[in-house]
Structure 1
Amino acid sequence: MMNFTNHFLLFMMLQFILVLGGVTNPGVQLKIQDKYVVMDNGIVQVTIANPEGYVTGIQYNGVDNLLQVTNNESDRGYWDMVWDEGGNKTTAKGKKGKGRFDRMEATNFKVIVEHEEQVELSFTRIWNSSLEGNLAPVNIDKRFILLRGSSGFYTYAIYEHLKEWPAFDIDNTRVAFKLRKDMFHYMVVADNRQRFMPLPDDREIGRGEALDYPEAVLLVNPVEPEFKGEVDDKYQYSCESKNNRVHGWISMNSSQPTGFWVITPSPEFRSAGPLKQYIGSHVGPTSLSVFHSTHYSGLDLIMKFGPNESWKKVYGPIFIYLNSLSNGESPITLWKDAKQQMVIESESWPYTFPASQEFLSAKQRGKVEGRLLVRDRYINNASIPVSGGYVGLAFPGDAGSWQRESKGYQFWTTTDDKGYFSIINIHPGTYNLYSWVTGYIGDYKYGPIINITSGSQINVRELVYEPPRDGPTLWEIGIPDRLAAEFYVPDPNPKYINKLYLNHSDRFRQYGLWERYADLYPNEDLVYTVGVSDYRKDWFFAQVSRKKDNNTYQATTWKINFNLDQVHTNGTYKLRVALASIHHADLQVRINNSEANPPLFSSGQIGSENTIARHGIHGLYWLFSIQVQGTLLVKGNNTLFLTQPINTSPFQGILYDYIRLEGPSTGQN
């Protein structure tokens, strides 16, 4: 683990090399002006509005400002929050309102650290009762750090809600940077997700045609003809938190290509665990570091604070990294360098240079280690080590509650090939230990509460997860991995494509795939026959409504035909239905009678994840275990009916993860 000493030595080595080459590497300088504060280390110069705390300028590599200079100064580099007063949550139709957008304008400025090796600045806004109803009841301290020899700068913030303050909610909070559109045209979010991007102008009326929701635009007359006929949609570039560690833009316009990268060295301060999906970079050119959002989770992930609830949390630091080339190498080399820098930053975590006592150093944190095994007696009677299983600490709650948790910190790792795990740098506090394992349904929770103190090292030894199971598998559909990606994802309508995702592993990110269901099943719904059908080809990835010619939508019922050689009429069977996501839908289950009222099972209308529209292939994980009395089944052919009856929107629907029918437990007749 690289500590601050090693991190600082890297900077010093760079300085030494520059001095040998005849180039001095000056210390950090701070210039305080009436309306601006400027941090400058000779490599990068950062200009921040005083006292508001907006980043108005980033000077680097001979360019006066990498940010969009035609934007208002408050709309270039800024922290923001979407919030609302407590309890004011829904419209008359039961949908959540947009909330209030706040760029978190500070009112006070203070120098925290100032010397040649480091400058740290604080921009604060302190709440009081006179602001009630106008600003979120939260104290905000935005920090900016520049180190000597660093090709970039750090930013973090401390949020605090005092116990005596009124209730309020947070929907979204993040840092945003809007770059110069005349420079940055090539975007990278992953090795296999990078491309030249359209201009923001292409989304405007006359050049772009709005589609089913505002974020999706068909480019009909773009500035660059090569983008004509493509769909631009920021959600096509979302990324799971565990993979959302570095992304950004490359400018290829000059003899010295330049990269702008947002690096998140640790996801510990993000909401909802490693699978939560966040937006990163998208057309603008825009780069974000999102810490909390309701995307792909909806109302379940609104941060709700009561009137007597105290709360404090540190978001960040994140690192804004800048790099450039001058030797004729491919500009894509900048992406490789950014990934290497991300590793350096991650290995340096937790940093020791932030001056706030709220950001805890490694010695103030704790560690938990152990071994995870799994036992499913209908597969293997022994407990077997789990390889690649996720193990994490989050606020105490029920098994699986971590995916809806947002106020605290979460710390996750994966097991090695023998099942061992080690979770390090854990904030002091009270936690449950959670886990889930690909290939098995359900969630695991370690029973005892885990109390972390400064310097504590806890070994929980061997943990055995026994996934839900009552009897032997009679049949199954899909892979229990919390995704719908293994099912049939159709080709997009040629009128609505993103060229990046043609012949791509993430083919589900194309726009409009929900409408392809009606193309493939214009009159009759999907029928799947166990033992004959192939879920990779015959199970559509999402159960959506069927679009009709008059722009109305028709409820759908899918059928699973299966054969039983024998039936234990006195026995109890178990149907396991795991969902990868659900949006304003009702899962109804019937067996051998499509008109049964009431159905054998109904979830009721649940979910507000909007995963289908946002090309996410998963949202929140849901698991339903449904008892099936043997009297409902017959020897020979049986049919399971899956109905989604709500049909007021194209985006209401279900993404299945895995379905399994279990026979009666051993010993039942």
Structure 2
Amino acid sequence: MSSPGVQLTVEDKQVVLDNGILQLTLAKPGGFVTGLGYNGVDNLLEVANKEDDRGYWSVYWSKPDARGGMDRIIAAGFKVILESEEQVEISFTRTWDQSLEDSNVVPLSIDIRFIVLRGRSGFYTYAIFEHLEGWPDFDVSVLRAVFKARKDKFHYMAMADNRQRIMPMPDDRLPPRGQPLAYKEAVRLIDPINPDLRGEVDDKYQYSCDNKDSKVHGWICQDPSIGFWLITPSIEFRTGGPVKQDLTSHVGPTTLAIFVSTHYAGTDLELKFRGGEHWKKVFGPVFFYLNSASGETDTSHLWNDAKLQMQKETESWPYSFPVCADFPAADKRGAINGKLLIRDRYLHDKDVPADSAYVGLAPPGEAGSWQRENKGYQFWTKSEPDGSFSISNVQTGVYNLYAWVPGVIGDYKYHEDITITSGSHVELNDLLYEPPRDGPTLWEIGIPDRSAAEFYVPDPNPMYINKLYVNHPDRFRQYGLWERYAELYPKDDLVYTVGTSDYKTDWFYAQVTRKISSDPDTYQATTWQITFTVDDLVQSGPYKLRIALAAAKNSELQVRINDPKADPAHFSTGVIGEDNSIARHGIHGLYWLFNIDVKSSWLTEGDNSIFLTQAMSKSPFQGVMYDYIRLEGPPKSDPKKTK
């Protein structure tokens, strides 16, 4: 039996799209979603909210050097783009003009689209944003689509096989049921409606996820059995590349499609428009998928079905159905392939394949600039064990080819620009990455994987537990772990002895400030010490200290060699970082690599110490997370014989 065709009903103040499976109702001409009917439920969205607070697009923006706010986009124009039994696509538009100069309306031309297809259990949304030449300067910190499901029905959230649970109610976060903690997003549940959650911490940042992994997340209603899911089939339109972290679903029940944000990065990821530049970008489409089960069913059935649908959507990318000249179909895109090899003669006597490397095309910039890129498109893949890679469905344009390899420090960048044209296929010869290396490894701490997850992550304070993360691979997502440092090291700081200490148990996951017990609002800087021995000190050339950071928050890392009071320090990063990953349980933010010359005169034959001081100490959240530290000896004349 064939599915009924899609029906479009346009009324004075609303528009309804109905394909016999779901009924999507939007305000006209405002463009926000007021209703979503499915499986006998008139509206899956929160009916207690105002109509413009159920499903909408929004932008957090500000004028340069000014405090900003949210523009919940309310359109001024409505248009039917395509109407047939197979598909309905509608458009809601708003254009900025000079009369809005002093309003909270962001200076952008905005076209928000919704699509319903025959037989498809869900709807698509995407948007075209454009800044025209001569329009005002401004900054955007967040651009997103928000959907709020009914709190009386959707209580179970899922975002990964091992990250799903019954969630608190929104009322549980308000006093007296909830007790705010160090920041407003974190709340301890004192008297939750569900008594099984008593004493737990709820914090939306505990459910953050890397772009590369944020493919499907959402909510389950168990009576009747319904799933409401956001499926993101591609990350090409999201900022910051594959390991940029962002929010997913959280108490509300709220589901977020984040396209631009400064979370886990800071202002480096803001969209900044200056000098009246022209810019245009398509965000999405993303798919809001609905599924159901007859009778009683466990949550895994709906979750597994959502994952299968996600796979179908991903395999269908780029979609062929959007009626948008700025969203090119597959035959209008190009592809590239090649093989990446690593040359490190101090480790291997021949070039080795870059296994599981992240390889991507992003707008031109310096090596590693992709993690701060925010206005263009990015296209990423992972290499095969032999180092080969292939990136398909790339939009036309000029790119640089970038890569980074788990287990290898630094960033690779191909030396030439890559031009992708419609239907083109660029074939590259073997590419060679020579990671930073001056001499043999004398010692190393950690794994160069852009994360601090391998270091010692303490158990949380029993007062601040989220039960989901007990005995969980993501144990770092517990609230308040930064406070445990001062409990473990109340007076003296961490000392790590090379050859004796184990970074899994003896290197705290973040170098944070220490709270002064006599004054809870006062914090002090901390200095960590690495002790090691040098045999056969070489006087002829510099040693090299390489420090890779996985995160930094308003920090200054000072490095001193054998003199803890050296002034100035032998090296300083200066004040860096705004990623706030310590407070937001992120285990990584932006990646930083510092290559420090260590004069042989600073070292002694025998016992030595490196002192690492994080000098900024105004808050508990200032600090750094280390990714990897390595000390290299002076260059060898025949590195192939050196391990």
TM-score scaled by structure 2? 0.98
Matched, 1:130 2:99: yes
Shift of 1:569: 2.0
**Aligned equivalent of 1:408:** 376
Matched, 1:197 2:149: no
**Aligned equivalent of 2:641:** none
Q: Deviations over 1:56-107 (max 9, x none)?
A: 000000000000000000000000000112x225xxxxxxx4x220111100
Q: Secondary structure at the match of 1:393?
A: strand
Shift of 1:330: 2.3
Deviates more, 1:432-441 or 1:124-133: 124-133
CA distance in 2, matches of 1:55, 1:579: 42
Q: Deviations over 1:567-604 (max 9, x none)?
A: 11232000000000000010000010000000000111
**Aligned equivalent of 1:345:** 313
Shift of 1:308: 2.6
Question: Which of 19, 30, 46 does residue 8 from structure 2 map onto?
Answer: 30
Letter in structure 2 aligned against 1:122? S
Letter in structure 1 aligned against 2:6? V
Shift of 1:428: 0.6
Question: Which of 91, 114, 121 does residue 83 from structure 2 map onto?
Answer: 114
1:632-643 to structure 2, matched below 5 A, reads 632-643=602-613
Matched, 1:55 2:24: no
Question: Which of 565, 577, 588 does residue 595 from structure 1 map onto?
Answer: 565
TM-score scaled by structure 1? 0.94
CA distance in 1, matches of 2:162, 2:223: 23
CA distance in 2, matches of 1:399, 1:296: 20
Letter in structure 1 aligned against 2:164? Q
CA distance in 2, matches of 1:268, 1:145: 20
Q: Secondary structure at the match of 1:487?
A: coil
**Aligned equivalent of 1:375:** 343
CA distance in 2, matches of 1:280, 1:490: 25
Letter in structure 1 aligned against 2:355? S
Check conservation: 1:110, 1:122, Cα contact below 8 A.
yes
**Aligned equivalent of 2:127:** 157
Shift of 1:164: 1.7
**Aligned equivalent of 1:507:** 475
CA distance in 2, matches of 1:331, 1:528: 46
Letter in structure 2 aligned against 1:311? W
**Aligned equivalent of 1:88:** 65
CA distance in 2, matches of 1:542, 1:506: 15
**Aligned equivalent of 1:69:** 47
**Aligned equivalent of 1:388:** 356
Matched, 1:518 2:479: no
CA distance in 1, matches of 2:540, 2:308: 62
Check conservation: 1:570, 1:631, Cα contact below 8 A.
no
Letter in structure 2 aligned against 1:49? A
**Aligned equivalent of 1:438:** 406
Letter in structure 1 aligned against 2:569? P
Shift of 1:301: 1.0
Shift of 1:119: 0.4
Check conservation: 1:570, 1:629, Cα contact below 8 A.
no
RMSD (Å) for aligned C-alpha atoms: 0.9
Matched, 1:268 2:236: yes
Letter in structure 2 aligned against 1:105? I
Letter in structure 1 aligned against 2:590? L
Q: Deviations over 1:378-400 (max 9, x none)?
A: 00131111111010000100000
Check conservation: 1:325, 1:331, Cα contact below 8 A.
no
Shift of 1:328: 4.0
CA distance in 1, matches of 2:616, 2:435: 32
CA distance in 2, matches of 1:253, 1:115: 34
**Aligned equivalent of 1:100:** 69
Shift of 1:166: 1.4
Shift of 1:25: 2.4
Question: Which of 172, 188, 206 does residue 142 from structure 2 map onto?
Answer: 172
Shift of 1:667: 4.0
CA distance in 2, matches of 1:331, 1:289: 22
Alignment: residue pair count: 635
Q: Secondary structure at the match of 1:380?
A: coil
Shift of 1:327: 4.7
Question: Which of 330, 341, 349 does residue 362 from structure 1 map onto?
Answer: 330
**Aligned equivalent of 2:278:** 310
Among all aligned residue pairs of Structure 1 and Structure 2, give the percentage whose two residues are the same amino acid. Answer: 61
Deviates more, 1:217-226 or 1:268-277: 217-226
Check conservation: 1:394, 1:411, Cα contact below 8 A.
yes
1:263-342 to structure 2, matched below 5 A, reads 263-342=231-310
Q: Deviations over 1:395-418 (max 9, x none)?
A: 100000000000000000010111
**Aligned equivalent of 1:9:** none
Structure 1 stretches (4+) deviating beyond 6 angstroms? none
CA distance in 2, matches of 1:424, 1:309: 30
**Aligned equivalent of 1:623:** 593
Q: Secondary structure at the match of 1:119?
A: strand
Q: Deviations over 1:602-661 (max 9, x none)?
A: 111111110000000000000000000101100110000000111110000010000000
Shift of 1:424: 0.5
Q: Which runs of 5+ in 1 are unaligned?
A: 1-18, 90-96
Letter in structure 2 aligned against 1:192? N
CA distance in 2, matches of 1:88, 1:542: 31
